[in-house]
Every structure is written in C-alpha cells, then in structure tokens.
Amino acid sequence: MARILIVDDAKFMRVTLSNILEGANHTIAGEAENGIEAVRLYKELLPDLVTLDITMPEKNGIEALKEILEEFPAAKIMMCSAMGQQKMVVEAIEAGAKDFIVKPFDSSRVLEAAERVLG
C-alpha cells in the first residue's frame, strides 16, 4: 500500500490518523508537527501521500503545501481542517491540495479520501 507522511501539530491527531491508515495496511513513512518539518521530510522521504494540517505553528499547512508543490508538482497532498475552516479549505484546494478531511476524523471518510487521492 501507500507510504504516508502525517503532518499535524497535535500528537493525538497524528496518532489517530496513523491508526486509521495503518489499519488499512498503509505505512507511515514519517510524522511532522509543523510546516517546516513537513517540507524537509517530504524532500527526504518522497511519500506517496501527505496528510497536512492547515493550522500549525512556524509554517502553516497552506504555505507548506505551496512549497512542496513548487518543487514536486505531482505530490499528492490531502489537507486536514477543523470545522469552520471552509475558506482555508477552498484556498488549499485552489493551491493544489487533492482533497481534504475534517476533524474530528471519521475513519471511513479518511480512507475514502486517501484512496481517491492515491488513485
């Protein structure tokens, strides 16, 4: 299955996503807690898919998304957002995100989105 990079500033959210994705036989290639780490780890690991939180310290998800896609236009990135961040989700999709999932995570929705993005 896919190698996935999980990016979220909350450890609990990273663990939750890891459990959902590993349960579907995906491999967690790495984890990051901010956008700076996300960009660095993407370059190092070249994962099949990235789950990227929008709101993070140091560099937010939208900035990290743009930076990754600038260098790797074929990157498959799925944004994560809390309820009520529709404007940011639209901005992320316009910037090149392939899909988005909303917190709190619904296992079936996460897996559907991952399969859709992975093609």
Structural domain boundaries in the chain: 15-84
Please list, in sequence order, all residues whose beta carbon lies within 8 angstroms of the beta carbon of residue 37, skipping any fewer than 6 positions away.
7
pLDDT in tens, 77-88: 999 988 767 888
pLDDT in tens, 20-42: 999 999 999 999 999 999 999 99
15-84 is classed CATH 3.40.50.2300:
yes
pTM metric for this prediction: 0.95
The 8-class DSSP code of residue 50 comes to: E
Please list, in sequence order, all residues whose beta carbon lies within 8 angstroms of the beta carbon of residue 17, skipping any fewer than 6 positions away.
6, 8, 51, 80, 105, 110
Contact 118, 76 (CB under 8 A): yes
Share the mean pLDDT of the chain: 95
Four-point Cα dihedral 64, 70, 75, 77, nearest 10: 30
